Structure 1
Amino acid sequence: MTWLVTLLGAALVMAILRDMFHTIWHPTRHGGLSRLVMTGMWRLSSRLSARWRAAGLAGPLGMVCVVAVWALTVALGWAVVYWPHMPEGFSYSSGLVPAEHAGPDDALYVSLVTLATLGLGDIAPAAGWLRVVGPMEALVGFALLSATVAWILGIYPALARRRALALRLAHVRGGVTSQALDSQGGAALLNGLASAVSVITVDFLQYAESYYFYDGDENISLPRQILHAASLTEQAMNSHHPDVRLSATMLRRALDDLAAILDELFLHTGATTAGVFASYALAHGDRMGRP
């Protein structure tokens, strides 16, 4: 039974490490636990007041909750590893009575101290294999910190690219005429938009959690601006300029790819590209307290 409990703790730790790996470092997969927490926070936001939704806290708070769940579960897993081997597998400082400090709370204390690399030393592993396991937990703690930083440094630039594309579409919507679009400059504009949309598609694949962030002002909200890109494509497809038509074809394919990813990962509507974008706008509009 002792080793069964130890293996259970090791399984908890491995499950979190797997979730961290698939969330951050494996671009074609996404962690199940982190995705569950982010989705839960997003759905909860839809049930709260319009002011809370408009504050856009679902994404940031979701990330905080994910990191907290990772840290607490890892600490709990290592505590379960330690607990069956206390007190005989540990050394205690002179002021502590081993028999009085061998409970689950003490095991959790040792785990948290080791995970945080504090190294207080009042309770320390003494058995041979435990002396190896302790530094391994410290390495996991360092990996958790590194993973959190890498996650933040990945998601926020992705959000900036998404919002920059939305702002560019807002500028196009208000300043590009049909005559200007039917030109070499119009073809270059469409090519640039197609490239930017492809980058956003990859961002959603690598950082799916970025979907759960509110974009703020309408001009930097991709859910509210992406439909204009689709209408711009249809307009350009009727151009007399062959380069414009070719660029419009590339933009349409990029938009189709983006819609496919949004529908596969988040919306699950099975609709056309226009229908998926409409659902995308509606989903994020609900979070803004708008119909």
Structure 2
Amino acid sequence: MEWIFAVLGIIVIGVGLRDVFHTLLHPSGEGELTKWCMRTSWQVSKRMGSKAVAVAGPLGIVIVILLWTVLQVLGWTLIYYPHIPQGFVYADGVDPSRYPDFIEAIYVSMVALSTLGFGDVIAVDPWIRAFSPVEALAGFALLTAAVSWFMQLYPALARRRAIGIHLTILRGANYVQDFSQFSPDTASRVLENVTNDLVQVRVDLTQTGESYYFRESTATTSLAASLSYAVALSEQAQAHPDAGVRASGVALQKALQDLSNLMAETFGLTGSSVEDKFRSYASDHGYDYES
């Protein structure tokens, strides 16, 4: 009977660690559990209004980290459970018969995962003594993973907000309307900067797809609200008499197409054209798409 619980525990632990690996270490992956939690948090928050949507991303991250923790605790609980209480020695004053075996196994698992040691319960079973330090290592790794996730995520959000502000500033300066008045070098440089920024956003969404579910609180910083201006820049550039500017406009168009395709495939945006997909993106984040 012990081996059945051990196998079940290993499976649960493996499911959790696999999700951590695909979410944080795989260069273009996202764990299925993480993806489900983030999407569910997003959809539920959207039904609750704009204030709830504003915290959907952070809330989803917290839920995912809690889920990873619960899976580790549960998995090791299943491993410890058949060995409670005979596989442990209890400190004076602790009567194991007062506590249900499964609850005691949860306690042992949580204390070990927190890297605090067993405290008033010490493992004497040889196999438990041999493998219980692995849970402490898993707990430390989980803490490190959570910290590294935030370190990956927030720079990506900062870059996305920066391109949103950049496009908003260009819109405010009527850059498209005055496009023909700029020298070809100036026009190409602006187009290339926007293209490079969008390529970076595309890479960020590939590596940290959960960043999609962070909604900006203002249209000024929102890429969803300002992407229409990048489309307008591309169209205006492709009609320019200078070949270099036209080439920069085509490059921007390709970057926009690539970004829209990724968003449609990964986040379920609807529409056949680039503008339709970006309109769906703006709507998903609660903003109007200004053509």
Q: Please confirm whether the aligned pair reaches a TM-score higher than 0.5, indicating the same fold.
A: yes
SS at the partner of 1:233?
A: helix
Q: Structure 2: how far apart are the matches of 1:130 and 1:199?
A: 47
CA contact (8 A) 1:86 1:102 kept: no
CA distance in 1: counterparts of 2:2 and 2:129, whole angstroms: 18
| Residue number among 155, 164, 167 corresponding to 1:166 in the alignment | 164
1:50 Cα deviation from its structure 2 partner = 3.8
Residue 147 (str. 1) matches residue 145 (str. 2)? yes
Deviations 1:81-118 (A, max 9, x none): 10011122222212223444461111000001000011
Q: What's the secondary structure of 1:258's corresponding residue? A: helix
Say which of 85, 92, 97 aligns to 2:95: 97
Q: Distance in 2 between matches of 1:190 and 1:50?
A: 33
| Distance in 2 between residues matched to 1:60 and 1:10, nearest whole Å | 29
Please say if residues 42 and 58 of structure 1, whose CA atoms lie closer than 8 Å, have aligned partners that are also in contact. Answer: yes
1:16 counterpart = 2:16: yes
* Structure 2 counterpart of 1:5, one-letter code: F
Q: Secondary structure at the match of 2:241?
A: coil
Task: Name 2:36's counterpart in structure 1.
Answer: 36
Distance 1:233 1:104, change over 3 A: same
Determine the C-alpha separation between the residues in 2 that align with 1:273 and 1:70: 37
Query: Bigger shift: 26-35 or 268-277?
Result: 268-277
Question: In the alignment, what sits opposite 2:264?
Answer: 263
Distance across 2 between alignment mates of 1:264 and 1:95:
59
Contact 1:89 1:127 in 2 (8 A): yes
Shift in CA distance, 174/268, structure 1 to aligned 2, threshold 3 Å:
closer
Conserved 8 A contact 1:24-1:147: yes
Please tell me whether the aligned partners of residues 108 and 118 of structure 2 are also in contact (alpha carbons under 8 angstroms).
no
What CA distance in whole angstroms lies between the structure 2 residues aligned with 1:181 and 1:196? 21
Q: Partners of 1:51 and 1:209 in 2: how far apart?
A: 19
The residue number in structure 1 matching 2:253 is 252
**Counterpart amino acid of residue 13 in structure 2:** V
In structure 2, runs of 5+ residues without a counterpart are none
| Equivalent position amino acid for 1:94 in 2 | D
Alpha-carbon distance in 2 for matches of 1:135, 1:270: 52
3-state SS of 1:198 partner: helix
SS of 2:27's equivalent?
coil
Structure 2 counterparts to residues 186-225 of structure 1, below 5 A: 186-225=187-226
Matched to 1:217, the amino acid is T
CA distance, structure 2, for counterparts of residue 45 and residue 208 of structure 1: 18
Take 1:268 and 1:236, find their aligned partners in 2: how far apart are those partners?
A: 26
- 1:3 matched to 2:3? The reply is yes
Going from structure 1 to structure 2, the CA distance change for 1:200 and 1:180 (only over 3 Å counts) comes to: farther
Give 5+ residue unaligned stretches, structure 1.
none
Aligned to 2:84: 86
The 2-side partners of 1:109 and 1:181 are apart by 69
Q: Which has the higher contact order (CA 8 A, sep 6+)?
A: 1
**CA deviation after TM superposition for structure 1 residue 216, in Å:** 1.5
Q: Distance in 2 between matches of 1:51 and 1:29?
A: 29
Paired residues of 1:190 and 1:248 also in contact (CA < 8 A):
yes
Q: Which contiguous aligned blocks of 4+ residues in structure 1 show a shift greater than 6 angstroms?
A: none
Q: Does structure 2 retain, via aligned residues, the 8 Å contact 1:87–1:102?
A: no
Cα deviation for residue 238 of structure 1 reads: 0.6
> Is the deviation greater in 142-151 or in 121-130?
121-130
Q: Deviations over 1:13-56 (max 9, x none)?
A: 11000000101110221101111111111000111134433xx1
TM-score of the two chains, using structure 1 as the length reference: 0.94
Q: Check the 8 A contact 1:182/1:241 in 2, yes or no.
A: no
Cα distance between partner residues in 1 of 2:182 and 2:71:
55
Q: How many residues align?
A: 285
SS in 2 for 1:46: helix
